[in-house]
Structure formats: structure tokens, C-alpha cells
Amino acid sequence: MTTKTTTKTKAPSEALLLEIAAKHFHTVETLETRNRDRLDFHDVAVWSIRAALEEAFEAGRRAA
């Protein structure tokens, strides 16, 4: 019989993810879907996306 072990990693909190998004994407007020194109889609620069991803990755690494 094979047993499967899983390790749980703490994911960054929703509040932290929103904080990162708001810091890098000034038009983002929430990460919730609002079913309105003008509210759910944002025109952002790739360097802003990169910076936000790096910050979120680092936050996840620190939480592990």
C-alpha cells in the first residue's frame, strides 16, 4: 500500500495579495470578480506585473 504525504505551505493571505496588487496596479480596488469589463480588466505594464509577481513570490517564500 502506498501512502501519500502532502506538505502544506502557507499561502500569502488575501489581504497581502490585495496590498501587493494595489501597490503595483493603482486602478485595482479588489481582487474579486465584479462582472464588468471596465472593473475586471486593467491595462498594466509588463514591468509592473513582473514586480508584483516577484513580491508575491517572495512573500510566499517567507511564509514557508
The pLDDT profile of the chain, 64 residues, written as one tens digit per residue, is 555 555 555 556 889 999 999 999 999 999 999 999 999 999 999 999 999 999 999 998 998 8
DSSP string, 9-60: -PPPPHHHHHHHHHHH-TT---SS--S-HHHH-----HHHHHHHHHHHHHHH
Residue from 7, 5, 23 nearest 59 by CA: 23
Predicted pLDDT of residue 64: 83
- What's the confidence (pLDDT) of residue 2? 58
Domain range holding 52? 14-63
Residue 58, in any domain of the structure:
yes
Given the C-alpha cell 502544506, which residue does it identify?
8
The answer to the question of residue 46 being in a domain is yes
Q: What is the pLDDT of residue 1?
A: 55
* Nearest C-alpha neighbor of 21 from the set 59, 58, 56: 56
Residue 8 lies in a domain: no
Task: Work out how many domains the chain is built from and give that number.
Answer: 1
Residue entry with cell 481582487: 31
* Residue 34 domain flag: yes
Residue 63's pLDDT is 87
Is residue 7 one of the residues assigned to a domain? no
